[in-house]
Structure 1
Amino acid sequence: MEQVVILLLMLAGVTHVAETKCSHTQNTTLCSVPPGEPVFVQVINNASNHQVRCNKQLPSGSMKVFVLMKEKVTIYEPFRNRTEFFINNGTFKMTNLERNDSGQYIIEVFDSNGVFVKEMNIQLNVQEQAFPLLIPVCAGAGALLLLMLVLVSCCVCRHRKKSGSRI
């Protein structure tokens, strides 16, 4: 019985999907995130005294996401109220991701003199993962197992009572 309780507690703990942190080891980074979850991308260790531009590529061109210039971050629609850029650690954060947020993001970094430092390409995939589907299946299997254990326990107890009354 303890094993069933432990299993159910473990399954309950799995229902929360942790925030996604995408690190860049090359010029292109692939990030897969479930809808509604946040994503963090560290662009540079410290963006102080830097200029940073982030654009989302569209079939018809590009759309501005944010710009860091003179220590001021400007976030553009439709990313406002769900996007942040942290100057002190150079991290880009987007929350409440939706499927239409999927796509390629290009982040360019320049030094304080406007000299190009680096470019990052981030391929963001916002899609349902198969993992959440396992939760109801496992919970159902756990409930079925619990029911079977209760029935077996009842049968064993009933059998012992009958055996004990004959002696």
Structure 2
Amino acid sequence: MATVVGLLVMLLGISHGVKPYCDGRQDGAQCYGALGGTVVLQLMDGAAENSTYIWSIRTQRIFTWTGKGVFGNVIGNRSSFTPSNGTFIINNLNRLDGGNHTLQIFDSNGAKSEQRSLQLTIQVVETYCDGRQDGAQCYGALGGTVVLQLMDGAAENSIYIWSIRTQRIFTWTGKGVFGNVIGNRSSFTPSNGAIIINNLNRLDGGNYTLQIFDSNGAKSEQRSLQLTIQAPVSSVWLVSKCLSQGEMRVSCSSEGGDSPQYSWTLGGRKLNGAELLSGNNESKNITLKQNVSGTLVCSVNNHVSRVFAEKMISTCGFIFIECISNGTYISQWVLKANNTLCIEPVTTEDHFLLIYGLQVAVAIILLSWAGAYIAWKKKTERSHVPWQTRY
């Protein structure tokens, strides 16, 4: 078998995904971002080097850009502006990032040529959990809101004590809620038996206990639930790399997110073993076979979020060749640009013709051998016949 001689090209591609995107090129655009997440704002097609751009929120200037670069970015530790494509990215969004943003554009003479605004709304992730069964497992998003269903409704002649670990959070009687230590960010609704906790932090996670006492003060029931606080996944991106034999190595990376889980689809369906050289549908890193192409999507999720990134992938410039060269049968993947093994790779049709030709050649050889054998046999038989009979 001949060897591939030539340059092996390494190709690298990156696809950014699921950072929420908003087109702010039209005045008055309405944009949204998730608390703690990332947003990509399309401010223009691209920044002109002879113009000046001032980006502000409410009355505060965020940054100024000229052809010499960005100046005075007050949130530079978590944002970036890309002049070539006119996008502004804000990471780790907080509530103060929400509001009316304004872009002012000045020409080379310092005259204002345009002004546009957009409204950015920061949304809070809200989760729901049914805690009416003892031992319920609940999840809440860091910085978000959780709704815990504790009962169908509170009875006026009963007393309810809600605690976390060893600390009492509040007591409810028919007269109302008393001593709520997180009252500034929580509320209890007796009519539907739900407690809402806003602006969740890590300390809100843990084992909660609900004790119910009847009108005589005797404990009639006690239930608990476990609340786990998870940071939501904020963004995902794909990195792909072609390997030496045309396989493609793809990595799925994410920002933020506790206990992320991964899943892959190709063209809207799950990846299968026939398309994978290594990894599986739940791996962070996979290796695809040489002939795999299409829209590849990596989804990353935990109990409070789900985001994804997609990338159109194609083969790495390799082709599968199959031919006979100098009497040697060749069948392998090679880099098309450097292929010297088979000048004209055998197509599927050629492959069948090749096999058919070989079969015909074998049949002709067999028939020739059979004809020669029959002639020899007859000659041998005749040699044993008496001379008088032969003539």
TM-score by length of 2: 0.29
Query: 8 Å contact 1:71–1:87 — kept in the other structure?
Result: no
Identity %: 25
Q: 2:222 aligns with which of 119, 128, 153?
A: 119
Matched, 1:65 2:169: yes
Query: 8 Å contact 1:55–1:66 — kept in the other structure?
Result: yes
1:4-15, aligned counterparts within 5 Å?
A: 15=34
Higher strand share: 2
1:36-115, aligned counterparts within 5 Å?
A: 36-49=143-156, 50-57=158-165, 62-77=166-181, 79-115=182-218
Amino acid at match of 1:67: T
Size of the alignment, in residue pairs? 130
Gaps of 5+ in 1: 1-7, 146-167
Matched, 1:134 2:242: no
Query: 8 Å contact 1:36–1:96 — kept in the other structure?
Result: yes
Query: 8 Å contact 2:142–2:231 — kept in the other structure?
Result: yes
- 1:17, distance to aligned residue in structure 2 (A): 6.0
Amino acid at match of 1:29: A
Alpha-carbon displacement from aligned partner over 1:81-131 (angstroms, at most 9, x marks no partner)? 0121111111111111001211111111223333333222121111213x3
Query: 8 Å contact 2:132–2:150 — kept in the other structure?
Result: no
**Whole-angstrom distance in 2 between the partners of 1:86 and 1:140:** 36
Query: 8 Å contact 1:51–1:109 — kept in the other structure?
Result: yes
Structure number with larger C-alpha Rg: 2
Query: 8 Å contact 1:43–1:120 — kept in the other structure?
Result: no
Which has the higher relative contact order, 1 or 2, with Cα contacts under 8 A spaced 6 or more apart?
1
Query: 8 Å contact 1:75–1:83 — kept in the other structure?
Result: no
Gaps of 5+ in 2: 1-16, 22-31, 35-122, 238-252, 255-297, 299-306, 313-391
Higher helix share: 1
